[in-house]
Structure formats: structure tokens, C-alpha cells
Amino acid sequence: MRSLLFVPADDAKKLDKAMASGADALIVDLEDSIPTQGKANARLSAAAFIADAAKAAHRPRLLVRVNGFASGLCDADLDAVVPARPDAVMLPKAEGGADMVRADARLSAREAIAGLPDGCVKIVAIATETATALFLAGTYGGATGRLEGLTWGAEDLSAELGAEANRDGEGGFLDAYRLARALCLAAAAAARVQAIDTVTVDFRNAAALRRESEEARRDGFTGKMAIHPAQVPIINEVFTPSAAAVAQARAVVAAFEAHPGRGTLGIDGVMYDRPHLERARQLLTRAAAAGVA
């Protein structure tokens, strides 16, 4: 998933528009974009949309961001949306592997009641929205086979920390949030799941979006969340491996396949070793998923 677009669960027009946005995944939101008094109706809307959209021959992945455990609303969210069989739920304010075990148990029970295969609904966790979560980032690995991605956020974390801002005057993240970003990236690598970058909230600033997307790709993130359809094309472009990168990766893989006993190889005057081989294979996997391999 290169691009994951947030859409309020209670806005039918935005949901329909999102289906044509080109996003790899839609995040149907039951949390921040829905006021408390609208949660019940939004659950019904989310379930109906997921059930209908899942029938499309060519569609994005369908995720639902439920409310966090501490809200007391998560169980009702799951009761409503799991029978519609979303591809995954996004769990906000997640606090490590223990929360993944809890989410797994809740999903298993509802899958059984709905007659769905066990494990069919995956999990993407937002891993940095509480101070406690930062200290538990290394505990996701092995908690559940449902986990397919970790992402991070700065808005809820800044509120919990009591911060006046999470970015400096030039738009860059301040230290606490750079730490959260790094912990998310390391946690995803340790758990062997996708690392997904956070949103760029200034959705009219295409230059900032491109810069943050390119920095995220450089550092190891393989996708990014969006809050407006206009952000999707830039995110998809940045996270789709270029033809030159694909060609270089193929050359590295071919060279090592031709010399399976070698630990290092020189290609066009540059030395490559086994970590370069692994990076080349990962890039080709992403390219194949994007349809450019």
C-alpha cells in the first residue's frame, strides 16, 4: 500500500469520490472525523459502504479506523463493521503487542459469529499516539499474524505531551515527533510489517507533501497516509520505484545469482554486499505490487 486515504464514514459523497482517487487503500474513519453523537449512524454507513465496495472487481484495500480501546467505543465499532469483511481495521492509540493480542481476540470472536475465516481481517496499528506507546514500540513482533502495518501520528501525541506545537517554524517535526517517527520505522522493521508514514496536514502544500514523502521513502517507509484525494497522485508517484531503480535492482539480483557463493560483488565500479541484495529484492517486490516490475 503506497497511499492510504482517510475518508469520514458518514460522508457518502467523499466515500464515492475516494473510490476513484487512485489510492491503494481507503481508511473509512469512525474515530476523529466523527462526532460522538454521530458514531452509531457512521458505523452503519461504514458497514454498508464496505459491503458494497468489496464487490467491485478493481478496488482499493478497505480499512476501517475504529475508536481506540480506551474510548469504550471499539467493541461497538467492531460489531458493526467486521461482518462487512473489511480488509483490515486500523487501531488508533495502540500500545504495543498486548493491544494486538486484545485486538486479535476481539476480531476472532466476531469473525466466528459472522461466519468469516479466522484471521481474514488484518490490523494496521497507529503506534505512537500516546506517551506509553513510545516505550512499547518494540513489542509488536510475534503478537499476532494479523498485523500488516505500523504507522505513526503526531497530533494526539502532542496533545498528550502538552506541547504547543509539533512542528518548527519551517514545517519540520520537533524532536519528540522525530523520535516517534523513528520508533515506528524500527518497530515495523522488527515486526517485519510495512512502515507507513503519517499524514501531511497542509494538504494544499504539494511541495511539502512531496518533500515529506521523499524523505519517508529514503528512510525506509514504503507508503504514506493522505487526508485529501489531491495528495494521492504525489504519494503514489514517490513510492513507486522508478524505471532506473528497478533496472539497478535487477542488475544487483542478477549479479548475485550468477555468483551465489560471493558475499560482495563489484558492479560498474561500485561494491555491493548482501544488504544491498536484500534491498534490491525488497524494491523489486514493491515494484511488482505497483505494477512496474
Domains and CATH numbers, the chain: 3-239 (3.20.20.60), 243-289 (no CATH)
Calculate the dihedral angle through the C-alpha atoms of 45, 51, 52, 57, rounding to the nearest 10 degrees.
Answer: 150
Strands 3-8 and 223-226, how do they pair? parallel
* Encoded amino acid at 51, one letter: A
Q: What does the pLDDT look like over 6-48, one tens digit per residue?
A: 999 999 999 999 999 999 999 999 999 999 999 999 999 999 9
Q: Is the pLDDT of residue 292 over 90?
A: no
pLDDT higher than threshold 90 for residue 259: no
Question: In the structure, what pLDDT confidence band is assigned to residue 101 with cuts at 50, 70 and 90?
Answer: very high
Mean pLDDT value across residues 52-68: 96
pLDDT (0 to 100) of residue 263:
85
Round to whole Å and give the CA distance between 64 and 82: 9
Would you state the pLDDT for residue 269? 84
Map residue 128 onto helix, strand or coil.
Answer: coil
Q: What is the pLDDT of residues 65-95, one digit of tens each?
A: 999 999 999 999 999 999 999 999 999 999 9
User: Which residue shows C-alpha cell 521513502?
Assistant: 217
- pLDDT higher than threshold 90 for residue 208: yes
Mean pLDDT over 121-138 rounds to: 98
Q: Which of 187, 185, 163 is nearest to 175 (CA)?
A: 163
Work out the percent of the chain whose per-residue pLDDT is above 70: 100
Q: Is 23 helix (H, G, I), strand (E, B) or coil?
A: coil
Cα–Cα distance, 59 to 55 (Å, whole number) = 8
Q: How far apart (Å, rounded) are the C-alpha atoms in residues 136 and 228? A: 31
Q: Any bridge partners for residue 150, and if so which? A: 125, 195
Q: How many CB atoms lie within 10 A of CB 77?
A: 25
Asked whether the beta carbons of 47 and 84 are under 8 A apart, the reply is: yes
Cell 529484492 -> residue: 281
Task: Name the residue type at position 274.
Answer: R
**Helix runs in the chain, H state only:** 12-19, 39-53, 74-81, 96-114, 131-135, 155-161, 175-191, 206-219, 232-239, 243-258, 274-289
Q: How many CA atoms lie within 13 A of 153 on its CB side?
A: 22
Count of H-run helices and E-run strands, the chain: 11, 10
pLDDT at 293 over 80: no
Q: What mean pLDDT comes out for the span 265-275? A: 88
3-state secondary structure of 180: helix
Say whether pLDDT at 290 is over 90. Answer: no
Give the whole-angstrom CA distance, residue 200 versus residue 51: 29
Task: Band the pLDDT of 275: cuts 50, 70, 90.
Answer: confident
Longest dimension (CA), the chain: 64
